[in-house]
Amino acid sequence: MEAKSPKSTKFWLLIIGAVLVVAVAGLLVIQALREEGAQVVITWNGEVDGTYSLKEDRTFVFEGENGGYNVVTIEDGFVFMEEANCPDQICVKHKPLNQTADPIVCLPNSLVVEVITNETENQLDGVS
């Protein structure tokens, strides 16, 4: 069996280190680009249902033709998915939002909840 040379090990450590530095830098850039939002845009079945202020507490119920439903709540400057009947519950487990670049998505019920700074400006997507 052939032993690895110190140069080979050093090379791979440098590559792994460089990848980690790039990943951390990317996360920092995404965090820096996030802004506290003022409004919530709710898109249901591919169409914008409405744009609502984060300053006004309210609750929305979306009921689909296939029996699916979602309950979206705006409360104390945050928006969150209070309840849904989708099987995975990822949207319900999502943390409450008050910043851009991290939408709540319920794929089974075709609902997207995103925070924007104003109704005419689209925000940077977290995966862009």
Is a pLDDT exceeding 90 seen at residue 126? Answer: no
Is a pLDDT exceeding 80 seen at residue 8? Answer: yes
CA distance 74 to 122: 20
Side chain identity, residue 16: I
- Domain regions of the chain by residue span: 1-33, 39-116
When pLDDT is averaged across residues 46-63 and rounded to a whole number, the result is: 93
When pLDDT is averaged across residues 87-91 and rounded to a whole number, the result is: 93
Side chain identity, residue 91: C
CATH 3.30.2130.10 fits domain 39-116: no
Sheet bearing 47-53, strands edge to edge: 47-53, 39-44, 111-116, 104-106
When pLDDT is averaged across residues 75-102 and rounded to a whole number, the result is: 92
Q: Are 44 and 60 in contact (CB under 8 A)?
A: no
Is a pLDDT exceeding 60 seen at residue 6? Answer: yes
Q: Are 70 and 113 in contact (CB under 8 A)?
A: no
If one compares 99 and 47, the residue with the highest pLDDT of the two is 47
Q: How much is the pTM?
A: 0.65
Side chain identity, residue 13: L
